[in-house]
Amino acid sequence: MRRNAATQAERKFALGAAPVYMYRWDCPPMAKAQWGANYGTDLSPAFANPTTRMTGNSPGGTRLARQIGSAFAAFAKTGNPANPTMPAWNAYNSSQRAVMVFDSNTRQVNDPQREIRLMWDRILTA
């Protein structure tokens, strides 16, 4: 799924019609989730709901839910997820590949897991 999301972001960026913002939901340590950060586990926190197993009902989980929920709300309102609850978030482009990583240390990472992305590029173009 991550490779498909990156491909979609690259294609959207190439159109130049609107900024593209990528994020990655990593399983926060407070969650103690059995399967880690898999598809859909970011949904409840994205609605700023801190009372789930994915946020561990903890102060850190509340902060994380506030960050991702505020980012989604800001994006819906303005087209930009930037908000005062979290670090600066640059739009995605083909050289930086900025991705906001939501976990116990929410931060922007440029081209996370670059080696894996390049491996998939080689496999899919072979």
- Count CA within 13 A, CB hemisphere, residue 83: 19
pLDDT at 110: 95
Instruction: Judge whether residue 45 has pLDDT over 90.
Output: no
Compute the distance between CA of residue 94 and CA of residue 51 in angstroms, rounded to an integer. 37
- From the number of C-beta atoms within 10 Å of its C-beta (0-12, 13-18, 19+), residue 17 rates as exposed
pLDDT tens by residue, 50-96 = 666 666 677 777 888 889 899 999 999 999 999 999 999 999 999 99
pTM exceeds 0.75: yes
Rg (CA), the chain: 15
Instruction: Give Cα separations from 75 to 67, 80, 117 (angstroms).
Output: 12, 4, 26
Place of tokens 């931060």: 107
pLDDT tens by residue, 92-121 = 999 999 999 988 889 999 999 888 888 988
